[in-house]
Amino acid sequence: MTAVVNLLVFAALEIGSLGLLHSFLRHKFSLSPLYQLAFVLETQVYPVQANLFLETIFLLQYQLEHLGADFTFRFKWLHGKG
């Protein structure tokens, strides 16, 4: 459950940074990056979707590793102390 919460916090921070970048570029250069984002999402929807899916899988695996998951299958806790 904490992995999902961390992922949602990360997504919220990314959306916030996109909003700040949008306002900066809008005021400084009169350019809207949302039009460019919409163009990319219209023309490259499948690669973007695959990339987001893979990033989600990798982020969840990093969270599991930090929680102490043993991917070596040695299970030191079964063999006693030490």
Say if residue 63 is exposed, middle or buried (CB neighbours under 10 Å; 0-12, 13-18, 19+). middle
Q: Can you say how many angstroms the Cα of residue 39 is from the centroid of all Cα atoms in its chain?
A: 21
Q: Give the confidence band of 12 by pLDDT, cuts at 50, 70, 90.
A: very high
Give residue-wise pLDDT tens across range 57-81. Answer: 887 776 555 556 666 777 777 777 6
By residue count, the chain amounts to: 82
Whether 10 contacts 60, CB under 8 Å: no
